[in-house]
Each structure stands twice: as C-alpha cells, then as structure tokens.
Structure 1
Amino acid sequence: MKSMKKDSSNSEIESNLVEEARKTLTGAKDWFLEDVALMTAYWHDKMGYTEAWVDANWHYVLDESHELAEELDEKEDIALLWLINHANNNPVPLEECHVVGTVVEPGSYHCMSCGYDNVVEAKQALAPCEVCHYGLMSTHDDQAIKAE
C-alpha cells in the first residue's frame, strides 16, 4: 500500500509540473505575440511616416541625392588615393602623377621610368617621355623624397 501512495504522489507532482510548464509556455507565447504585434505596429507607423515624408518631399530628395552622390564619389576617390599612397608606401603620391593624354598645366613633368624632366610650355595634352616614350609623369619634388 505504501507503494501505491508513493506512485499517486509522484504522478500528482508530475501533473503539477506539466500544468506549470503548460502555463509558462502559454504565457511566453502570449508575451511573444504581443511583442510582435507592438513591433509590427511600430514598423508600420515608422515606415508610413517615412513614406509620407518622401512622397511630400520627393523633389527635394531627388535634387539632394545627385549632389550627395557626387560628394560621396569625391570622398571615395580621396579615400582610395590615400589608401593606395599609404598602404603601398608609394614614393610619389598618385595625385601628383599624370598619364599621357591628360590635359596638363605648363611645367616640368618628371618621367617615372627614366627620370628625364619633360618640359611643357603651354596647357596641352601630355605627350610621352621625349627620351624613353614612357607614359607616366610626375610633378612630385624629387628633393622631398631624398630628404626623407
């Protein structure tokens, strides 16, 4: 008879545990669904506001986006030049390099292959090196490189 009493108390404890687990899971499910409903409502409100603002100001967005895209392109170009100049330890900064065919101001253009100074007397398209016909020139000061 003692064994019957033990079994009935164990089954009662187990049924209580199952019932508590069921209540906990139901509460967690309800809490989760409420949170999802709140997040959904917030998202719809936020997106609705954003869409309404864009609809009302679309011309402003279009006007500003062109300027912003150009500004971002310019910043990306500057960042890329900085990265290339510093990551590769370039002896001549790329912004001081000139490729044959680009229009350049009058001045002395140092050949990056043979070192000859090609003199340009008027604003014109840069010609290949007079000595070796290489196509990359620099306006970088060689003395600054030697001093470093």
Structure 2
Amino acid sequence: MKSMKKDSSKSEIDSNLVEEARKTLIGAKDWFLEDVALMTAYWHDKMGYTEAWVDANWHYVLDESHELVEELDEKEDTALLWLINHANNNPVPLEECHVVGTVVEPGSYHCMSCGHDNVIETKQALAPCEICHYGLMSTHDDQTNKTE
C-alpha cells in the first residue's frame, strides 16, 4: 500500500512538472512572437519614414549625392590608409609607396626589395627596379640604414 501512495505522488509531481514546462514553453513562444511583431512594426515604421523622406527630398539627394560620395570616399581612403599604416606597423607609409606603371615625379625611388635607389629624371611611368626588377618603390626617407 505504501508503495502505491509513493508512486501516485511521484506521478502527480511528474504530471505537475510537465504541465508547468508546457505553460512555460507556451508563454515563451507567445513572448517571442510578440517581440517579433513589435520589431517588425518598428522596422516597417522606420523604413516607411525613410522612404517617405527620400521620396519627398529625392531632388536634394540627387543634387548632393555626387559631392557626398566623393567626400565620403576621400575620408574612407584616408581612414583606411591610416589604419593600414598603424595596424600593420608598416616600415614605410603606404602614401610614400609607388607601384610600377604609376606616373611619378622626378626623384629617387628606393626599391623595396633590394634597396637600390632608382633615379627618375623626368615625370614618367615608374619602371621596375634596374637591379632586381621588383615593382614596388618608396620615396620614404629611411634614416635607420644610412651611415654618415
């Protein structure tokens, strides 16, 4: 008799746990669906506002967009160059590097491979290194290797 009583109480506890778990899952599902509905409504409202603003001001957007794009491109290029130079600890700043085929001003162009100084007399397309034929030169003034 005692074992019957224990089994029925265990069965009741298991049944209560299952029922509580079911209620919790239903509540979580409802909460999640409500959040999704709120996020969807917010997104549609936000996008609707943005679309309405663009629709009302399209002429302004078209007139100003070319200048804005050029300005943003310039800022983005500057930021990217700074990031590359500082994040990689480049020995030569990229703005002082020149690739073969680029039109360059007269001056001395230091080969990034063998170190030879290639002297350019007139404004022209940069040729490969006279010694090793490498295609990357620098106008960076390297004080660490110079001995006087």
When normalised by structure 2's length, the TM-score is 0.62
Aligned 8 A contact 1:109 1:139 in 2: yes
Larger of the two Rg values belongs to structure:
1
Mean Cα deviation higher: 112-121 or 35-44: 35-44
User: Deviation at 1:57?
Assistant: 2.7
Aligned-pair identity (%): 92
Q: How many residues align?
A: 148
Give the root-mean-square deviation of aligned CA atoms.
4.8
Mean Cα deviation higher: 35-44 or 54-63: 35-44
User: Deviation at 1:100?
Assistant: 0.2
Mean Cα deviation higher: 75-84 or 7-16: 7-16
Q: The residue matched to 1:109 in structure 2 has which SS? A: strand
User: Deviation at 1:55?
Assistant: 3.2
Distance (Å, rounded) in 2 between the aligned partners of 1:100 and 1:15: 79
Q: The residue matched to 1:108 in structure 2 has which SS? A: strand
User: Deviation at 1:20?
Assistant: 21
User: Deviation at 1:54?
Assistant: 3.1
Distance (Å, rounded) in 1 between the aligned partners of 2:128 and 2:31: 75
Structure 2 unaligned residues grouped into runs of 5+: none
Aligned 8 A contact 1:91 1:145 in 2: no
User: Deviation at 1:2?
Assistant: 29
Mean Cα deviation higher: 53-62 or 126-135: 53-62
Deviations 1:71-101 (A, max 9, x none): 2122111111111111111110011000000
Q: CA distance change for structure 1 residues 40 and 4 in 2, over 3 Å: closer, same or farther?
A: same
Q: The residue matched to 1:119 in structure 2 has which SS? A: strand
Aligned 8 A contact 1:109 1:120 in 2: yes
Q: Which structure 1 residue ranges, 4+ long, deviate > 2 Å from structure 2? A: 1-57, 144-148
